[in-house]
Amino acid sequence: MSLSIQSKLLLVGGFIASCAAIWHLLCIIGGPSWYAFARAPQEIIDSAKQGTWLAPLGAIFIALLMFTCSLYALSATKLIKKIPLIKTALTVIASLCLIRGAIVIPYFLKHGFNTWDFIAGTTWFFVGICYLVGSIEVFKNKAANLNTHTLQG
């Protein structure tokens, strides 16, 4: 099976999302210092220090969201069964990643440059581009399939 560049980019975005999901789960094991390194809000770091449920449940929730993004990438490239609402999901994922990536610009203007935030911002912006480019192929394929069915009917 040969994959287009758009599908490969979508898979790269999904892979990065999976890695980020695993990182969030590892924070549960790593404890407060890992949450702090990941720039978690102080409330989450305090939860990890106190052993309350907020930090691990938050990390699990975010990891599930990121794994879901990866599943949509796999589905869009037809490596797994089609998942419902794929066009909507890909659009939302691409938009959120692009916004997350772009949001560092006003942050830098207000607080100054920070290497971690720069890396995170550019990574998520890149993931957004991967999902955007990949979703364009899905939209084109869906439109082509609709045209084919219309011509056959």
- Sign of the dihedral through C-alpha 119, 16, 46, 41: positive
pTM assigned to the model: 0.89
Please report where in the chains the tokens 């969030």 appear, as a residue. Answer: 24
| pLDDT tens string 42-82 | 999 999 999 999 999 999 999 999 999 999 999 999 999 99
* Domain extents in the chain: 5-152
Which helix (H) or strand (E) element contains residue 147?
Answer: helix 115-152
| pLDDT tens string 90-107 | 999 999 999 999 999 998
